[in-house]
Amino acid sequence: MYAFMRLFSLFLVVIALMFLGADAITSLEHPGRITVRSFEVVWGLFDTGSLAGFKAWVATLPGWLANIVYSALAIPAWAIGVIGVVLAFVFGRNREDEA
């Protein structure tokens, strides 16, 4: 289980670095304009229909909960690396692995 979670955290960090690199390259291509892709933009690139369905479902939630979900969708996509780093620390090497 620990090995799987460590690999998963590495995967999240690599994906975050890819998003960060893509944002940096896009920002360099358009001087004077900084580009930061959100989770919503990345999700929309893969499947706009499911994003529209998810937003329609979120619209049925209570207002405070819908605002939390919309705020989570507005977070930069490279922030997924934070979850990866936290998982790497939680499931990092333990004393059994060192032996």
Q: Note the pLDDT tens digit of each residue in 3-45.
A: 888 899 999 999 999 999 999 999 999 988 999 999 999 999 9
Strand partners, 76: 38
Strand partners, 38: 76
Helical residues (DSSP H) of the chain, grouped into ranges = 2-29, 39-46, 48-58, 63-73, 80-90, 95-98
Q: Note the pLDDT tens digit of each residue in 57-69.
A: 999 999 899 999 9
Q: Long-range CB contacts (< 8 A, 24+ apart) of 63-72? A: 72/39
Domain edges within the chain = 1-37+77-99, 38-75
| Structural contact between residues 58 and 47, judged by C-beta atoms closer than 8 angstroms | no
DSSP label at 76?
B
pTM to 2 decimals? 0.77
